[in-house]
Structure 1
């Protein structure tokens, strides 16, 4: 088949640096063979056509999110996402304050070196 010949020629053209690696590699045949299999699989995935149409229909949640985030309930915007946002905010604050304190401690240690006897 003419299309198979084209695909085979293209694959061998892409694979020639790895074939040189196989020939130059003395005791690592199994590792090189695995690399070749992975590379061929990756090449085949790249050759497949990607469908642009979606087969699954998801519910549009944008209006619900807009209503939630635009509601004036006194909660800061960065905490309206729920418990995950609260945990991320607290972790960020702890790391920021802790990192600042540690940096200031290291600056103080560097500013007042120990006296050598």
Structure 2
């Protein structure tokens, strides 16, 4: 039991104390230039290809969901023939 506690204590000390601090570059100025550029691209697509993919996926899911809701409302409003 004591040995397990010592291993746990050593492991926790190693993960907390020996973490190297990474230097992160400040990219705010570059992002501001990118998003404030007057190039005719909407702001929600200025991030690149991933933004375009996410936009199209969101619009597709929205159209599909709207169509499905309309279908379900129409099928619920029609009486079942027995």
Same fold (TM over 0.5): yes
CA RMSD of aligned residues (A): 2.9
Deviations 1:30-88 (A, max 9, x none): xxxxxxxxxx97x875x33525761x334332211110011122211100000110111
Structure 1 gaps, min length 5: 12-39
Separation in 2 of the partners of 1:44 and 1:99? 53
Greater RCO (Cα-Cα under 8 Å, separation 6 or more): 2
Structure 2 gaps, min length 5: none
Equivalence map 1:29-68=2 (5 Å)? 47-48=12-13, 50-51=16-17, 54=21, 56-68=22-34
Match of 1:105 in 2: 71
Separation in 2 of the partners of 1:102 and 1:70? 38
Q: Which of structures 1 and 2 has the bigger CA Rg?
A: 1
Q: TM-score, normalised by structure 2?
A: 0.74
